[in-house]
Each structure stands twice: as C-alpha cells, then as structure tokens.
C-alpha cells in the first residue's frame, strides 16, 4: 500500500514543479492533470484496495493532488492572460523615429524600356508581346530572309537542340510578323522584349539583350511619317533641342532603309568620346516595310504601306546613364543597381 501513497505524493511534486512556458505546454499540462481524462482520476479507483484505517488519509492525499493541479493550472492561465493584456495595452510612441525600410531599385534596362514605351504610347502605339522561342518562318522567312538569303549571315542564331526550325528569337521582328498575320491594318505597335544572338560577350556586346521595335501599317503611310515619329521620340527621350539625321542603310525587311543618329546630348554635339568626336550618336535602324514582307503576312501591299524601326534598349540605357560596359547590366551587382534607387 505504501507504493500507491508514494505515487500520489510524487504526482503532487510533479504538479508543483511543472513550469510550462508556452501556450502549447500549458494546454498539455491541463490535459494531463485537469482534463476529463487526467492521470489523477484512475487513482480514485484504488481506494477500494486500501485498508479501512488508511482510506481517509489516501482520500485526503488524492484530494490534495486534484486541488494542486487545479490551482496550478489557474495560476498559469491567469499569468498568460495578464501577459496578453499588457501586450495589447502598450501605447505606441508616435514621436519615435520609424524603422528604416530598405528600398529596392528598378533595373536601368527596365527604367529605359518603360520610358520608351511611355513615349510611343502617347502617339497611339500599343505594346505587343510574344514568345521568345520562335519558329524559323516568323523569325526569318516572313521578314524577307529565306534560307539562302545572305542576310542570315548578319545574325548568329541559337537553334534548339535537334531542331533546324525552332530557335531563340534574334530580334523582336518576329512579334511584328505574328501581329501582321493575325490582325488587319491599321496596325500601330511597339514590341519590347529580350532577344538572343550567339555573339562573344564583351564590354560592347552580349549574347542576350533587349530590343524595342515599332511597326505602323495603314493606307498612305510615308517616309515623312517615319521621320516625324522618330524626331518626336528623340526629342522626348533626349531633350527638346535634339536633332536627328538619317543615313542610308540595308535591312532585309525594309526598303528604303536607314540608320538614325541623334545629336550628342552629352557634349551638345561639340564632340566627345561617346560620339567619337563627330557630334552624332547612332541609336536605331528604320525604314519602310518591304512590300514582300506585307505580302508574306497576308497584307495587300498595293493598298497598304508602313514603316518599322528597332533599337537596342541596353544601348539607350548606357548612353542615358553613362555606363561603359554592357556586362554590368546582366551581373546583378547590388552595388551597381543601388545607384538607380531614385530613378523613375
């Protein structure tokens, strides 16, 4: 009989020394000692095995264990509720300085791309986006560059493994092809996006970069419309005093074609290392859409004409922010990117 008394006495000690330190631990204490299936309750059945002269002492000891458990649980509960009330009752010090919140920054390519999109959206151009993995027809053939055309040598292409017809697009002209084959004129779009070419990575070139190409097709569209559109862009992008000049060039999907230069906004066209002391900086290629391209895409070239232009966004960003190495735009160096926290 001494063992059953020792069991209850040890139980009382365990209750008194228990120190649950969390809501979950207090709940476990309640279940073990106070709950409907607590470990004290089964001991009550042992009273019938106790000699008559010891039953009173055992009952008092068992009752002491029950009260100890209930008292301890109530104390723990009150302490928990008191702590919650104190936390909820804390007043905010509105005069205290705020905790600093670290701010991120937009990437210079994103800043430049958004700026270009905003300028052209003011004159009715809408953004068109398409896939980066493209087929040969939309990337080359529709743009007047069939398989045996020497213009294909101008671009080193990444083809997908075991495929001669699927590739990573080399320009966003493929977006123009898809728009022209699915929409009827008038068409007025700009196509921003990432493109890929198998080029040696250096301070001036990269195997991936971003372009924005524009396309306008309607009746009676002329080269004068192209020139005025690009003049508006240049002055909005680089300043109201900016001048442009167009030099004859060649692109397989435009005829006539031209390269456009802007007067150097860094030295005010006086000559510097950016413009190579000429006073002019080349920024884009452009031209009238070749009639064959219109026909390839199902548009009547006798009824409609159009112009197209394209520029590299990295080149614009490098000129705007005086960046001398294109690789900086792809390395994600936080020290470099933090410089653009205040840029719009």
User: How far is it, in rounded angstroms, from Cα 208 to Cα 210?
Assistant: 7
288: β partners: 307
pTM of model > 0.75: no
Predicted confidence band of residue 342 (pLDDT cuts 50, 70, 90): low
Least confident stretch, 66-80, 238-252, 283-297: 66-80
Token pair 């391209």 is found at 293
Strand pairing category for 187-196 and 126-127: parallel
Q: What is the mean pLDDT of the chain?
A: 85
Q: What dotted CATH number matches 108-340?
A: 3.30.930.10
Least confident stretch, 77-81, 137-141, 230-234, 235-239: 77-81
Q: What percent of the chain has pLDDT above 70?
A: 93
φ/ψ bin of 178: left (φ > 0), alpha (ψ from -120 to 50), beta (otherwise): alpha
Question: Contact 140/166 with Cβ under 8 angstroms?
Answer: no
Q: What is the pLDDT of residues 98-138, one digit of tens each?
A: 777 777 788 899 999 999 999 999 999 999 999 999 999 99
Question: Contact 300/181 with Cβ under 8 angstroms?
Answer: no
> Which part of the chain has CATH 3.30.930.10?
108-340
Is 140 exposed, middle or buried, given 0-12, 13-18 or 19+ CB atoms closer than 10 A? Answer: buried
Report how far apart, in Å, the C-alpha atoms of 37 and of each of 175, 227, 232 are: 72, 88, 83
Is 151 exposed, middle or buried, given 0-12, 13-18 or 19+ CB atoms closer than 10 A? Answer: middle
pLDDT exceeds cutoff 70 at 2: no
Q: What is the pLDDT of residues 79-97, one digit of tens each?
A: 776 655 555 555 667 787 8
Question: Contact 274/281 with Cβ under 8 angstroms?
Answer: yes
Predicted confidence band of residue 51 (pLDDT cuts 50, 70, 90): confident
Segment 202-215 mean pLDDT: 90
Tokens read off for 102: 């670290």
């Amino acid at each position: 009989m001494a063992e059953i008394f020792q069991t209850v006495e040890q139980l009382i000690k365990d209750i008194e020394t228990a120190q649950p330190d969390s809501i979950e631990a207090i709940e476990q204490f309640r279940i073990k000692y106070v709950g409907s299936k607590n470990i004290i309750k089964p001991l009550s059945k042992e009273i019938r095995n106790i000699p008559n002269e010891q039953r009173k002492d055992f009952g008092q000891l068992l009752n002491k264990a029950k009260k100890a458990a209930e008292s301890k649980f109530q104390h723990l509960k009150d302490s928990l509720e008191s702590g919650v009330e104190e936390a909820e009752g804390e007043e905010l010090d509105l005069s205290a300085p705020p905790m600093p919140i670290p701010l991120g920054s937009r990437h210079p390519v994103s800043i430049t791309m958004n700026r270009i999109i905003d300028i052209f959206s003011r004159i009715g151009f809408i953004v068109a986006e398409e896939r980066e993995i493209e087929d040969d027809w939309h990337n080359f053939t529709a743009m007047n560059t069939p398989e045996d055309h020497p213009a294909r040598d101008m671009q080193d292409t990444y083809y997908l493994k075991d495929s001669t017809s699927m590739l990573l697009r080399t320009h966003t002209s493929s977006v123009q092809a898809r728009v022209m084959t699915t929409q009827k004129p008038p068409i007025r779009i700009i196509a921003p996006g990432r493109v890929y070419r198998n080029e040696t990575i250096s301070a001036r070139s990269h195997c991936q970069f971003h372009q924005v190409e524009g396309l306008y097709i309607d009746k009676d569209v002329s080269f004068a419309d192209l020139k005025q559109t690009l003049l508006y862009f240049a002055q909005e992008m680089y300043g109201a005093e900016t001048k442009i000049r167009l030099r004859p060039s060649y692109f397989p999907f435009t005829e006539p074609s031209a390269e456009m230069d802007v007067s150097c906004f860094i030295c005010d066209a006086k000559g510097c290392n950016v413009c190579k002391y000429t006073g002019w900086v080349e920024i884009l290629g452009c031209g009238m859409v070749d009639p064959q391209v219109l026909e390839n895409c199902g548009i009547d070239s006798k009824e409609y004409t159009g112009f197209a232009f394209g520029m590299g966004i990295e080149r614009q960003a490098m000129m705007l922010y005086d960046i001398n190495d294109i690789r900086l735009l792809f390395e994600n160096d936080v020290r470099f990117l933090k410089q653009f926290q205040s840029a719009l």
